[in-house]
Amino acid sequence: MSQDVFQAIADPTRREIIDVLAGQSLPVNEVAERFDMSRPAVSKHIKILNECGLVVIRKEGRKRYCRANTQKLQEVIAWAYRYRKFWNDKLDALEAALLEED
């Protein structure tokens, strides 16, 4: 089942994994050590992040290295930007209406 970026970042653990991997490439075991959960649980989160393109996995020998693909977050930024404009327009209209009352 293919994951979408919004489903992936809905989980706080996955957001934290992205934060950990944003500036560095780490083996799965080192990522797992940073969380208070089992390695298989962290691996499942990484798998979901990989399926939607937020994490890239590279095999080197027996180790699997993970790194964040923060470019994939552009989908989220573009979506949020649409609503930022919407709310800015609404707030500007509210400000204008309040100024008219004075």
Beta carbons within 10 angstroms of residue 100's beta carbon? 7
pLDDT at 3: 75
- Using only the alpha carbons of the chain, give its radius of gyration: 19
Please list, in sequence order, all residues whose beta carbon lies within 8 angstroms of the beta carbon of residue 68, skipping any fewer than 6 positions away.
Answer: 18, 21, 22, 54, 55, 56
Q: Over 80: is that where the pLDDT of 1 sits?
A: no
> Higher model confidence: residue 82 or residue 38?
38
Cite the DSSP H helix spans in 10-73: 12-21, 28-33, 39-51
| Cα-to-chain-centroid distance, residue 45 | 12
Average pLDDT of the chain is 92
pLDDT tens digits along 68-96: 998 888 988 988 888 888 899 999 999 99
- Residue 53: CB partners within 8 Å, gap ≥ 6? 5, 69, 72
Query: Which CATH fold would you assign to the domain 5-71?
Result: Arc Repressor Mutant, subunit A (1.10.10)
